[in-house]
Amino acid sequence: AQSVSQHNHHVILSEAASLELGCNYSYGGTVNLFWYVQYPGQHLQLLLKYFSGDPLVKGIKGFEAEFIKSKFSFNLRKPSVQWSDTAEYFCAVNSFMDSSYKLIFGSGTRLLVRP
């Protein structure tokens, strides 16, 4: 079955630490890849997206992600986290093997940044 895996369910970091959140997917063919963020009590917002071209994608608030097709991965990174980055992060994949274009989410990673 098609799936999106986020292996880190909870991550705790101190401010200024570097962040890397893993995301792997099991689709073949063309994919569109997304990272969404959900701040406490809020709805999901787009952090960054990959459609094609440069596999290193830069998003808002200093986040970036790298698409590695051979590893079916799209890991999220930030060199130096801030307390305000405390949130839940979701990886999502849209596959074109399935003509219905459904966007499937991973289970999410809760990030807590300690001041």
Gap between the Cα atoms of 87 and 76, Å rounded: 14
Q: Is 88 helix (H, G, I), strand (E, B) or coil?
A: strand
Of 25-54, which residues contact other proteins (CB under 8 A)?
Answer: 30, 32, 34, 36, 42-46, 49, 51-52
Which sign does the torsion angle of CA 43, 46, 51, 56 carry?
Answer: negative
When asked if residue 108 is in the footprint of other proteins (CB under 8 A), the reply is: yes
Written as six digits, the tokens of 92 are 């999502």
Using CB under 8 A, pick the residue from 35, 63, 74, 90 that binds other proteins. Answer: 90
Q: Give residues in contact with other proteins (CB under 8 A).
A: 6, 9, 30, 32, 34, 36, 42-46, 49, 51-52, 90, 94, 96, 100-108
